[in-house]
Amino acid sequence: MPETAELLNPLREGIRLRRTPDPCAMVIFGASGDLTERKLMPALFYLLRERMLPPGFSVMGCARTHRTDDEFRQMMGEAVRKFLRLNSESEAFVEGFEKGLYYLADDFSNPKAYEQLRTTLDRLDQEKGTAGNRLFYLATPPSFFPVIVKNLGAAGLAKPKEPGKTWTRIVLEKPFGRSLDSARDLNQVVTGVFEEDQVYRIDHYLGKETVQNLLVFRFANGIFEPFWNRRYIDHVQITVAEELGVENRGAYYEEAGLLRDMIQNHVLQLLSLVAMEPTATFQATAVRDEKAKVMRALRPIRPEAVQDFVVRGQYAEGYVGGKKVPAYRTEPKVLPTSCTETYAAFKFFIDNWRWADVPFYLRSGKRLAKRVSEISIQFRRVPHLLFRGAGAEGIEPNILSIRIQPNEGISLKFCAKLPGTTMQIRPVKMEFLYGESFGAAPPTAYETLLLDCMLGDATLFNRADAVDLSWEFVDPILDRWKQDGTKGLATYPAGSWGPKEADDFIERDGREWRRL
């Protein structure tokens, strides 16, 4: 059956089959940071336990504070135990995991540290069989990205050790820039040292199982695609709501705000997956091309029209889970006069044939009533009310909702007849829940994405042009808000669903936010 065999060729079709990466070493800059402890180490541990890492896999942690290899191993072992609830079977893997860890203490700005790094990596190639393949992961505050990239280049670590035989890749954490100009500057530094195909700009949202399932749902099922367009869809709502406030990251949030922290990356990524055209294959270039086309078709929001398309808010004191919580302005390291937005609601349009005139409403915020991320596709009403006078008030438009977290799943709301002798209509739900249907817990986003980098699969990572386009979209809004200061900044009680202005905003269009 040569045809079938050819169709299933993963290289040709870009199908993500289970594969083990080439032997390699990973270097984590910022190895004692929060991200490394909470996300990277637990993800690597799971991959090791599931035997998905290559033999001899080694991690070189780099940070400023002095500690020995053994101290670093102990620290990471503790992090794995703290952030994963290990049973005795998994506990047995911790020692093996720790043995693959090494540590280098120095300042990122010291070029000599990179010489030492190269020597150690060469030694690991010999001793552990890491074969000259290198994955550099920049888990540091973004201000260090340029200096690390330049130093890697100067030390000859950016080029593959043996071109054609070995690979070298670099992963950059978000945020990638804080404006269009700074993102372009950073891209220039990065692509001045690395080739674009060596660069993996991570957005962990894309590693979430349900986000990937969005593509499967749309393109592996024949029944949805025909009505995935302006003829049948009234509007789309995307909600990314968090219960948490800024916790101990007040200083970071003051600089970032919700637009940079959530919208420019995660939410626009979700949007591009909902709106993109089908691709011919599931290969990185094809998927990234289509996503970039969506970004290109986003209708820009001009600075003078910002208030017509965006509502911004900041949380005041309130109650979350029955507990009183402080206002944003009284959080640690936040200015008492801060104008930083912790909530935003948007309306925007995608100017292409598929989506012309279909509004996309999007809201995201901190200290909202519930932690929930959902995409809902709201279909047009039936053209004729056949059941007028017979419970027609029960007829609501169909809604397809894709729940990203928690309780990952998909549900479809449709109308049904209430049992009884009269014709009464009520909306009901048909539901698919990931957990119930598949039993096994899905991998975390970082497990998926780390493995993808080692395998050289960039499908779920951001390309430079998409990053640029997303900043092009949000920059005028940020500029306008900067000019306006507190003018137009609404407030909402912590634990609510956001400012009243956001309800008025969608109600003016004769629509309402979904109750989640």
Ligand X SMILES: NC(=O)c1ccc[n+]([C@@H]2O[C@H](COP(=O)([O-])OP(=O)(O)OC[C@H]3O[C@@H](n4cnc5c(N)ncnc54)[C@H](OP(=O)(O)O)[C@@H]3O)[C@@H](O)[C@H]2O)c1
Give the footprint of ligand X on this chain (CB under 6 A): 30-35, 38, 63-65, 107-108, 139-142, 173-175
State the nearest-atom distance from the C-beta of 332 to ligand X, in Å: 15
Q: Which is nearer to ligand X, 71 or 95 (CB)?
A: 71
Sign for the CA dihedral angle at 204, 451, 461, 220 comes to negative
State the nearest-atom distance from the C-beta of 412 to ligand X, in Å: 33
Sign for the CA dihedral angle at 175, 176, 177, 179 comes to negative
- Helix-, strand-, coil-residue percentages of the chain, each rounded to 5: 40, 20, 35
Q: Which is nearer to ligand X, 141 or 156 (CB)?
A: 141
| 498, 369 Cβ separation under 8 angstroms | no
Q: Which residue is nearest to ligand X (CB)?
A: 33
Residue-wise DSSP of 444-484? PHHHHHHHHHHHT--TTSB-HHHHHHHHHHHHHHHHHHHHH
Helices 209-219 and 268-275 cross at an angle (nearest 10°) of 20
State the nearest-atom distance from the C-beta of 174 to ligand X, in Å: 5
CB proximity list for 277: less than 8 A, separation 6 or greater: 290, 293, 354
Q: Which is nearer to ligand X, 141 or 435 (CB)?
A: 141
Residue-wise DSSP of 371-432? -EEEEEEEEPPPSS-TTTTTTGGG----EEEEEEESS-EEEEEEEEEPSSSS--EEEEEEEE
DSSP H or E segment with residue 93: helix 88-99
State the nearest-atom distance from the C-beta of 247 to ligand X, in Å: 10
State the nearest-atom distance from the C-beta of 59 to ligand X, in Å: 13
Q: Which is nearer to ligand X, 65 or 281 (CB)?
A: 65
State the nearest-atom distance from the C-beta of 63 to ligand X, in Å: 3
DSSP 8-state class, residue 496:
B
- 204, 235, 266, 384: the catalytic one is 266
State the nearest-atom distance from the C-beta of 330 to ligand X, in Å: 23
Helices 41-49 and 445-455 cross at an angle (nearest 10°) of 70
Sign for the CA dihedral angle at 195, 198, 203, 209 comes to positive
State the nearest-atom distance from the C-beta of 258 to ligand X, in Å: 14
Neighbours of 507 (CB within 10 A): 11
Task: Check if 66 is active-site.
Answer: no
Sign for the CA dihedral angle at 105, 108, 109, 112 comes to positive
Integer-rounded Cα radius of gyration of the chain: 25
CB proximity list for 128: less than 8 A, separation 6 or greater: 25, 56, 57, 58, 100
State the nearest-atom distance from the C-beta of 140 to ligand X, in Å: 4
Residues in the chain: 516
Q: How far is CA 190 from CA 195, 287, 355, in A?
A: 8, 22, 35
| 339, 244 Cβ separation under 8 angstroms | no
CB proximity list for 463: less than 8 A, separation 6 or greater: 196, 201, 288, 292
The whole-angstrom separation of Cα 99 and Cα 201 is 29
The whole-angstrom separation of Cα 441 and Cα 46 is 12
In terms of Cα–Cα distance, which of 455, 270, 470, 258 is closest to 374? Answer: 270
State the nearest-atom distance from the C-beta of 137 to ligand X, in Å: 10
The whole-angstrom separation of Cα 51 and Cα 112 is 35
Q: Which is nearer to ligand X, 84 or 395 (CB)?
A: 84
DSSP 8-state class, residue 12:
H
Q: Which is nearer to ligand X, 106 or 289 (CB)?
A: 106
Residues classed as catalytic: 266
